[in-house]
Structure 1
Amino acid sequence: MSTTNFKPTLGLVDATMIVAGSMIGSGIFIVSADITRNVGSAGWLIAVWLITGFMTLIAALSYGELSAMFPKAGGQYVYLKEAYNPLVGFLYGWSFFSVIQTGTIAAVGVAFSKFLAYLIPELGNNYFLFHFGNFQISSGQLVAIFIIILLTYINSRGVKEGKFIQTLFTSAKLLALLGLIVFGFILVKHSYWTENWHTGFVSTKATAANAAETLSIANVSWMGISGSALLGAIAASMVGSIFSSDAWNNVTFIAGEMKNPQRNIGLSLFLGTLIVTTIYISVNLMYLNVLPLNEIAFAKDDRVAVTAANAIFPSFGTTLIALLIMVSTFGCNNGLILAGARVYYTMANDGLFFKRASTLNKNAVPEWALWAQCVVASILCLSGKYGDLLDMISFVVVLFYILTILGIFILRKKLPNAERPYKAFGYPILPALYMLMGAAFCTLLIIYKPQYTWPGLIIVLIGIPLYYIAVANKKQAA
């Protein structure tokens, strides 16, 4: 038995929890190490997070107009299709299915298992179970797949079940992060705040003192950078901060299940991104209070939060952060899994995805699309390449954000009389500013980190022949 329509059961609080919960995964606990190695000062560490937060807020406020115009399942895929043409929408949907959403689900799942290994080492990524030549399977990868399957099953039971998990786990991690921030300022025995802020905005980059050696805290040499080298370092740093701040747009994919979507999606985008941006900057300020800059840059395995927690709570810091990240990644993956399947459902209804993905089960959720997403994410877990793919796709993610926001300008000309219950805040200045900042980020990556750009573009371009195959199949079926 199946149903033909989504049930509008999600309110403003539910939507805000999906925005915040999908954004906060494992990145905030890790990527500040790489940012610090790239820019080498307290001022620039915070500046990178501020720039990313500012861009995210502008984009969220801009998406509010599109979500109010097209309050239906599919979100960004629908906006691109309506502003440009079905091919552009499909290229986003294909990239989303092949790596953007599924790769993020895999990465967050493996992050869960990495921190579970602090409590149960046999369930970690260093505990290998099978070897087939160069192909290895660790127990951590199997744990990640189990979590993805479990959450897919829960979400196949209905949106209320997914909503409950999301609200519970997002509330828990927001409160835990808030507590960590507060305790980082009131309990730590030695504050490095003044020492770290002496570095101000004097940008430096970590290099090995001996070129033959691997970069480490024991042999690091800080080299002053400016001009184009600084711009390249900021762009490289923002790959991590943008990944940590991504997935805020997931709430747009579930518009068909929202109460009063014209109002609540735009408002939840603003509230969710504002909460997370404030938390992220506060966490980094806490790092600067608790740890010297060198220890932020060279925390073991980049796990800055673990190092900071051990300074605040010497006897149980590692266990505390391991539990917090497990809660964080579990809730994050629930939001990603819940929202992602709605894109494939809408594509299938347009005849551009597997036909079975266009049906809803008796619980009014796209069960087949959920399990298809689960299979691809699980394969990426086993491949071990999800991290590389996500580095490569950051460029493409921002490129699609730019195209979507440009779509606001196009639709104002294309559909001048369309109903717009909400209009993009600061239009045209703020949306244009986002496009300029996003274009600068993409250009700097092309120049200074080309390995982060061309593989992602290849993945997108593979979608062109797939689109024409899908269109041909659709015509034959008709």
Structure 2
Amino acid sequence: MRDSKYSRPTAESSSPAGPRAVIGLGEAIALIVGVVIGAGIFKAPSMVAGMTGDAGWMFAAWALGGLMSIVGALCYAELSTAYANAGGDYHFLQRAYGNSVAFLFAWARFSVIATGSIALLGFVFGDYMHQVLPLGGPQSAWGPAAYAAAAIIALSWLNIGNVKYGTTTQTWLTALEVGGLLLIVGAALFLVAGGHAPPAPAAAAAAAAATAPGIPASFGLAMVFVLLTYGGWNEAAYISAELKDGRRNMVKALVLSLLIITALYMLVNWAYWKGLGLAGMSGSEAIAADLLRTAFGRPGAAIISLIIALAAITSINATIIVGARSSYAAGRDWPVLAPLAVWDARRGTPANALRIQCAAALVLLLVGVWTGSGFKSMVEFTAPVFWLFFLLSGVSLIVLRIREPHTARPFRVPLYPLLPLAFCATCAYMLKASLSYVYSQSLGGWNAAWVGVVVLAVGGILLRFLRRRAPAPGN
């Protein structure tokens, strides 16, 4: 049951005091591509190759991941065009379930989903930049953290300055990132042209792969890693109120970006396969580095470090842009959080939300320096929280179709309700998989499942406090 009746207009006003339609289609595509393509494509392919055990099934998994992501994107296209709002998922959850569920989502996103991603990506950027250009010597403990902090501060400052600064930077970063992935493909073409043949698999493994019938037993687990590597396209919802001609361009931005991403992922996996072979892929700890080292020798390691650092900083910038929008939306609804709702009309940015997000990410960065790998685990263990809200967002499409049948929907997801149900089933599967993973892990002697529970419990305490101080409208 919803705890309040929500009666905002279906589309956010493009007034001088709020978001205006200033982001073009190309910039939106660059943002989506940039936020999706992170470090995953440099790690997941080796695990997927090992779990599928066959080149055909491996490529099928990556193609299926792209198709399933497009199905979800079509659902988000309907929500984002019918309810264009800077709050994105926050706004959908609020309309479907009320202020309490929406606030818990905004809290989880602020405390760990967005800010945690920014901090983790900062560490990835810092680690690889430190390999190329060490600060304080190769063994310095503070060098990677200094790179990470500098990137977060610089990109936050850039995005506070003007929305166009951030989106133009994103376009160039994404172009360079795509160029880096194409360089990996070029390395494979170089090897193929030179007559290189990947190492043959061991006889036992080859025989097992040749005689194994049907779908591989670990195909479902492989899809978990594939879908995680495709994750992030839903962030497009946070620019729905700022996208030019959003009623048409939102669908184009989501579908075109996912087609680009799917094509890139297929090409990169083909490059790994041609350069290393399936056995080489599954046995590699650093698959991209191994391929470039095979093609270019020792300089290949430096090249791949720069490519991964570039992918990380591209995702950092994209996450900074979209991450602050949900905090801004929550600030509009809760009087105590009003400072978050400041929109700088001249610059076109949620200035305070960006500043506070930057500060929170830097605090998490310090936590990461203090706890080491424990911080990375802590963020990963909140995955069930993300998939829970992602599932609720998918269900909200069906809820809002029933509750608000007369709302104008410029785009309607085809084959309703089959495609929304398929998307919800995918989210439910990923929720189950993430729960199974965290239940099997521990952090500081505690079951890792408690990490997500603590995040939501703290959010619940804050919710009670906010309601006592000054409730949101309708509460």
TM-score (norm 1): 0.84
d(CA) in 2 for partners of 1:41, 1:459 = 40
1:102 is aligned to 115
2:197 is aligned to 191
1:71 is aligned to 84
d(CA) in 2 for partners of 1:248, 1:23 = 6
Matched, 1:257 2:242: yes
1:440 is aligned to 429
Matched, 1:173 2:177: yes
Whether contact under 8 Å (1:83, 1:411) holds in the other structure is yes
Cα displacement string for residues 382-433 of structure 1 (whole angstroms, at most 9, x for unaligned residues): 2224421342133322222221111111111100111000011332112211
Matched, 1:338 2:321: yes
1:314 is aligned to 297
Whether contact under 8 Å (1:73, 1:255) holds in the other structure is yes
Shift of residue 78 of structure 1? Answer: 0.5
Cα displacement string for residues 336-392 of structure 1 (whole angstroms, at most 9, x for unaligned residues): 101111110110001176321110234131111111111221222222244213421
Q: What is the SS of the residue equivalent to 1:252?
A: helix
d(CA) in 2 for partners of 1:266, 1:353 = 35
- The partner residue of 1:427 within 416, 422, 425 is 416
1:348 is aligned to 331
CA pair 437-154 structure 1, distance change in 2 beyond 3 A? same
Residue identity over aligned pairs, in percent, reads 28
d(CA) in 2 for partners of 1:125, 1:102 = 28
Matched letter for residue 152 of structure 1: S
Shift of residue 55 of structure 1? Answer: 2.5
d(CA) in 2 for partners of 1:369, 1:49 = 36
d(CA) in 2 for partners of 1:106, 1:179 = 27
Cα displacement string for residues 245-284 of structure 1 (whole angstroms, at most 9, x for unaligned residues): 2221222112222212222222211111221122112211
d(CA) in 2 for partners of 1:398, 1:201 = 38
TM-score (norm 2): 0.84
CA pair 447-171 structure 1, distance change in 2 beyond 3 A? closer
d(CA) in 1 for partners of 2:71, 2:451 = 27
- The partner residue of 1:397 within 386, 391, 409 is 386
d(CA) in 2 for partners of 1:50, 1:30 = 17
Whether contact under 8 Å (1:23, 1:244) holds in the other structure is yes
* Higher alpha-carbon deviation: 409-418 or 245-254: 245-254
d(CA) in 2 for partners of 1:87, 1:99 = 18
2:364 is aligned to 380
Shift of residue 139 of structure 1? Answer: 1.8
- The partner residue of 1:406 within 370, 395, 398 is 395
Matched, 1:327 2:310: yes
Flag structure 2 segments of 5+ consecutive residues without an equivalent: 1-15, 369-373, 442-447
Matched letter for residue 192 of structure 1: P
Shift of residue 476 of structure 1? Answer: 10
1:273 is aligned to 258
Q: What is the SS of the residue equivalent to 1:257?
A: coil
Matched letter for residue 430 of structure 1: L
2:147 is aligned to 143
* Higher alpha-carbon deviation: 238-247 or 415-424: 238-247
Shift of residue 244 of structure 1? Answer: 2.6
Count of residue pairs brought into register by the alignment: 443
TM-align CA RMSD: 3.1
Whether contact under 8 Å (1:247, 1:336) holds in the other structure is no
Shift of residue 332 of structure 1? Answer: 1.5
* Higher alpha-carbon deviation: 317-326 or 455-464: 455-464
Matched letter for residue 238 of structure 2: F
Whether contact under 8 Å (1:75, 1:255) holds in the other structure is yes
Whether contact under 8 Å (1:99, 1:389) holds in the other structure is no
